[in-house]
Every structure is written in C-alpha cells, then in structure tokens.
Structure 1
C-alpha cells in the first residue's frame, strides 16, 4: 500500500468514529397543546446533545384536530420517538356568548368532547400513529387543572387521564403520567388558580420531567 493510500485509509477510520451530527441524532416529535409548546424549548435545550426535538406546527388542540392533522404532522420523517398528548382542550366547556378567552364557560357551555368520544378519538389516533410510523410512542397525561379555571372542571382532568391510560394500555403505549408532578409545579409556578398555564420557571420544570423521560427511552 502506498504512503498516500495509507494516509487515506487511516483518515477514513478516524472520520468513521467521529460523533454523529445533528441530522443523525434520534428524531423526536412532540405533538401537543400550549402546555407542550411552553416546555418544548427547554426539552430541546436539555436533549440537544442526545436528540433533535421538534414540535408540531401550532397548537394540537383537541383530539378532533389531531384526527384531521396527524398524518400531516408525521409527514415522511423517520421519527424515532413521537410524544403526544390531548386532553385539556377535549374536556373544555365553551359557549359562544362567553367573554372569557377562548369562550370558556363550564356553567353554560358545551364540552368539546365527552369522555366517551375522547376515548374513541384517542383509540383512532393511536391506530393511525402505529400504522404510519415505526416510532416509539409516548403518551403524556393531561397536566393539572386548577379549581377556578373558567372552562374546565378539576375532576375532569383526572377522569380523562384515567380513560387515556386505559387506551394506552390497550395499545401497549408508554405513558408519562405528569399530573401529580404538574400540580406541585403549578402551585409554585402556575399563572394562577384560574389558569392552566405556567410561568417560565414552571415550563422549565415540566421540560425537565419530559426530557428525563425521553432520555431514558432513547437509551
């Protein structure tokens, strides 16, 4: 072997064992509502060296939106992990005459999706996900619903999570149950007892929970 060929051979071995770039990291897609939009930047930061993390465009809202958009969100990407959640929009009561943001009104409004319809929609969504991708699926439960939220009953968050976990068990989908942890975070870093959203520190704390769970699944 000539000297130049020897150098080329050694160089090829060197580059073969270099760390893979971002394009070759595991690809993670997060599908979810405004809570997930809030914590995704922190997940992207924490998992930056381990995975490329993306969020579906905009707010995934309720399971009806999911059924209309899920195939578009998956696209042709070869996802390694897809984390998804629906619930807060599904259990929300709205009334066209309400002046509260989003027309929320749990007294005179109509629920977006009943518990039965939510379960049925989730069942269909998991079926679509399994048929369209080989990605590992992670379902994240609905986060904490404070008592004075205008369009949501606190007890419904627990009921919808229980129904969702039943569907995930049926399909052998991994569940990251964040409800109890999110309650503690909300009490310290929530935007108030009438708002499901969080301050920046709250989203950061949620992001750490999500990041740790995904990192374990990547391993």
Structure 2
C-alpha cells in the first residue's frame, strides 16, 4: 500500500511538473503613445504572474505612423492580446514656427488628422491587424486633455473618442474606455493644466485600470 501511494505521488508530481513546464503565459502587445509608455511598466508588474507584456518600440505617435509600422510591430510573433491606442497625436495642432515643445499651436497650427481621417486610419489599422494576427484586439480610448494644453482642445479628446468607439463597434473590437477615469487621475497626478502627461503616481493609477481590464480578458482566453 505504501509503495502504491509513493508511486501515485510520483506520478502526480510528474504531471504537475510537466504541465508547468509546458505552460506558456499569454503574450500581450501594447501599442500606443507616451501615455501608454508611462503606464506599461506598471501593467507588466501587475500582470507578471498572468502574462508576458510588451510595448512597441518607441512612441506609436499618430495613426499615420500606425499605418506605416503596424506590420513591423506585429511581426511574426503569436500574440494573444493586442491592445492599441491612438488619438492624442492625431488631434494635435502644430505649427513649424511654434517654440512650444513639439511645435504645438492650437491657435495657428494645422491639425495632424481631422476626425474623419482619424476614423478612416483607425478602420484601416484594425483591418490590417485582423489579417496579421488572431489575437484578441482591445482599443484604449484617449486620456484627458487639460484646458490649457498648447496644441490640443479639451473637447477634441471626447469627439475623437466617440468616433473611435464607432469604428471599434463596426469592427467588433473590445474598448477599454479610460477617459472618464483619467480625469480625476490627471487632476490629482497630472503634470499641470497645460500638459497631457502624468507623474509616476498618475501612470501607476492608469496602469491599475489597464491591468484590471487585461486580467479579465486574459482569464477569458485561459477558460477557452
């Protein structure tokens, strides 16, 4: 009886070890601008036990950059989730003579992409993504734009988010709408009423929102 129990214990141990050895964590790719670059380290930390999280090299900027580089960013990897966002660069006005960082100037500048161009570009990017990967796609909305931002109008974040959500609905893409939650975070942990960026604590708070959302989606993948 003791020998039988010992053999059974060995078999169970081997099964557990074999399962652990062959288990591969889901792979998550985050594509996005400087806001996503700010919160990604906290997402990696928060999902360390659930998945391997990566970010596209550098800043994904606007949808024009996305159209040019989306193939490169997806590459030949087998992604389980691709989370992406664009908007802050698309709705930004710039003028070559502006001395503000990034040549931002919402009074005299030209918008990077009109709202219709933004929608069209997003639609094309999603179509490309669907041909490049079988990953679950998640779109994250644009975060809060403070009133005194030099190159961006506060209301445009809402307008561009609304049209983006229509594109995602059409394309059956999941949306993580962080806009409303980002407002109090920016007001408490933002870098000022003229800056769309956040302090480290602000990025941590945004990261917690993104992490919670991704955890749910990762669990749904594991349960299949």
TM-score (normalised: structure 2): 0.91
Query: Do residues 102 (structure 1) and 102 (structure 2) align?
Result: yes
Q: 1:17 aligns with which of 19, 31, 41?
A: 19
1:47 deviates by: 0.3
Report what 1:212 is aligned to. 212
Query: Do residues 42 (structure 1) and 27 (structure 2) align?
Result: no
Q: 1:165-176 residue pairs with structure 2 within 5 A?
A: 165-176=165-176
1:14 deviates by: 4.1
Distance 2:155 2:21 in 1: 48
1:15 deviates by: 1.9
Q: CA RMSD in A?
A: 1.6
Distance 1:119 1:40 in 2: 25
Distance 1:216 1:58 in 2: 27
Distance 2:127 2:159 in 1: 22
**SS of residue paired to 2:20:** coil
Distance 1:189 1:168 in 2: 29
* Structure 1: gaps spanning 5 or more residues: none
**SS of residue paired to 1:28:** strand
Q: 1:1-219 residue pairs with structure 2 within 5 A?
A: 10=11, 12-18=14-20, 24-219=24-219
Structure 1 runs of 4+ aligned residues shifted over 6 Å read none
**SS of residue paired to 1:79:** coil
1:18 deviates by: 2.9
TM-score (normalised: structure 1): 0.93
Distance 2:16 2:213 in 1: 33
Distance 1:87 1:183 in 2: 16
Count residues in correspondence. 212
Distance 1:188 1:59 in 2: 25
Distance 1:157 1:15 in 2: 49
Distance 2:26 2:22 in 1: 10
1:19 deviates by: 6.5
